[in-house]
């Protein structure tokens, strides 16, 4: 079974992580999963949102968005429409939750890290690329705070990476580009820590409902993909 782009079912697309793509943000990278291209930036600032003031705890928040010409057909700008769409909201919340899973709020102290994941080009898997890239930007922003003496301990308790998996014509496949994504019967996004545990599992029956066996096969594939991504993140951060 070969795929349109020549990959085996359990193979990632070519992954590139270009660190420090921006000059102003405390951490940033341009992450590429094949033709999917997401600019991830992390800005660290003193203080926390009002509801958290005086707690001694930090906060991490995330916003995901897509440029109008990232997609095949130009899509209207959310700023011009005057509201954030449901899909954008949903993914922003997912990115935020995923990254917060590896943050020690106490060690972070009353500082906030804002993650921005802007999709410059979309070809499937934008939310998982965003999470994978955001981790790299986050790690750099945390390191920046550490060098500035703003932390009281190790604020990063682990690493986090994400990948999409799906069943196409009965075969579980890793890291779906757009052409595969629209054909998938079941679609799953899996966020995992560097030590192989789950942070988020979001499986959706796009066509027919799926059973436990299919779920298990997808999770195993995702486990392999996240392990590969974890190695690439580590490499990028070591440079």
Residues placed in the known binding site for phosphate: 87, 125-127
| Site track 124-163 with a copy of itself (rule: CB under 8 A), x = hit | ----------------------------------x-----
| DSSP-based three-state secondary structure for 136 | helix
- Numbered residues of the known binding site: 87, 125-127
User: What's the CA dihedral at 137, 146, 105, 194 to 10 degrees?
Assistant: 50
Site for a copy of itself in 93-122 (CB under 8 A): 93, 97, 101, 114, 116, 118, 120-121
> Is position 17 an interface residue for a copy of itself (rule: CB under 8 A)?
no
The span from the CA of 187 to the CA of 73, in Å, is: 22
| 89 contact partners, CB below 8 Å, separation of at least 6 | none
The span from the CA of 181 to the CA of 13, in Å, is: 14
Q: Of residues 6, 49, 54, 82, which one binds a copy of itself by CB under 8 A? A: 82
> Is position 14 an interface residue for a copy of itself (rule: CB under 8 A)?
no
Q: Give exposure, 197-221, as e/b (b: 16+ Cβ within 10 Å).
A: eebbeebeeeeeebeeebbeebbeb
Closer residue to a copy of itself (CB): 53 or 81: 81
Stretch that binds a copy of itself, among 12-20, 163-171, 197-205, 226-234 (CB under 8 A): 197-205
The span from the CA of 169 to the CA of 61, in Å, is: 38
Structure tokens at 176: 């779906």
Secondary structure of 25-92 in HEC code, one letter for each residue: CCEEEEEEECCEEEEEEEEEEECCCHHHCCCCCCEEEEEEEECHHHCCCCCCCHHHHCCCCHHHHHHH
Stretch that binds a copy of itself, among 19-27, 145-153, 163-171, 231-239 (CB under 8 A): 19-27
Structure tokens at 72: 């095949």
> Is position 2 an interface residue for a copy of itself (rule: CB under 8 A)?
no
Closer residue to a copy of itself (CB): 201 or 227: 201
Q: Of residues 57, 143, 150, 201, which one binds a copy of itself by CB under 8 A? A: 201
Stretch that binds a copy of itself, among 10-18, 49-57, 60-68, 169-177 (CB under 8 A): 60-68
Q: Of residues 6, 86, 149, 170, which one binds a copy of itself by CB under 8 A? A: 86
Stretch (H or E) spanning 112: strand 111-121
| Cβ atoms of 213 and 193 closer than 8 Å | no
Q: Which parts of this chain interact with a copy of itself (CB under 8 A)?
A: 22-25, 28, 35, 39, 41, 43, 45, 63, 65, 67-72, 74, 77-90, 92-93, 97, 101, 114, 116, 118, 120-121, 123, 158, 188, 192-193, 196-205, 208-212, 215, 219
């Amino acid at each position: 079974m070969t795929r349109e782009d020549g990959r085996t079912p359990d193979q990632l697309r070519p992954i590139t992580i270009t660190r420090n793509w921006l000059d102003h943000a405390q951490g940033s990278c341009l992450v590429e999963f094949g033709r999917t291209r997401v600019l991830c930036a992390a800005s660290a600032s003193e203080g926390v949102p009002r509801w958290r003031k005086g707690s001694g705890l930090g906060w991490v928040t995330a916003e995901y968005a897509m440029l109008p010409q990232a997609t095949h057909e130009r899509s209207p700008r959310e700023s011009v429409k005057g509201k954030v769409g449901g899909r954008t909201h949903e993914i922003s919340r997912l990115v935020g939750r995923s990254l917060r899973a590896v943050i020690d709020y106490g060690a972070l102290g009353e500082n906030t890290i804002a993650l921005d994941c802007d999709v410059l080009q979309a070809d499937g898997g934008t939310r998982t690329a965003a999470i994978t890239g955001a981790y790299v930007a986050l790690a750099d922003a945390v390191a920046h705070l550490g060098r500035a003496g703003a932390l009281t301990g190790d604020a990063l308790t682990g690493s986090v990476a994400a990948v999409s998996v799906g069943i196409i014509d009965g075969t579980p496949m890793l890291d779906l580009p757009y052409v595969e994504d629209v054909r998938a019967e079941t679609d799953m996004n899996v966020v995992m820590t560097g030590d192989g545990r789950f942070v988020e599992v979001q499986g959706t029956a796009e066509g027919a409902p799926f059973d436990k066996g299919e779920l298990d096969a997808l999770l195993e594939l995702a486990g392999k993909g996240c392990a590969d991504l974890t190695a690439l993140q580590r490499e990028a951060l070591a440079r």
